[in-house]
Amino acid sequence: MLGESHALLVDFPEYTVTILTLTDSDSEFAANARRYHDLDTEIRKLELRNSPTSDEFMHQAKHERSVLKDKLYLQFTKA
């Protein structure tokens, strides 16, 4: 669905404590989570405003968000 939030805490509420703990204690996790959040916000804004952007840019942004989400998921499920 266009404009849907894919925030980590929205998609994985069962890992809220772990995600918040890692964000506070692991600087690499925190940086990746911040980048993920920024990408998700940018993608949602573009979708909701129907802002002009190239398909290539949107594809790249969504791909990067997906790669980060997979990486973060592996980290917080193993913690």
User: Which pLDDT score is estimated for 5?
Assistant: 87
Is 39 in contact with 8 (CB distance < 8 Å)? no
Rounded Cα–Cα distance for residues 48 and 10 (Å): 18
pTM higher than the cut 0.85 = yes
- Residue 22, domain member (yes or no): yes
User: Which pLDDT score is estimated for 67?
Assistant: 98
**33 DSSP assignment:** H
Domain that holds residue 17: 8-78
43: amino acid identity, one letter: I
- Residue 57, domain member (yes or no): yes
Is the pLDDT confidence value at 14 over 70? yes
- Residue 56, domain member (yes or no): yes
Over the chain, what is the mean pLDDT?
93
- Give me the number of domains the chain comprises: 1
- Residue 1, domain member (yes or no): no
User: Which pLDDT score is estimated for 10?
Assistant: 94
- Residue 37, domain member (yes or no): yes
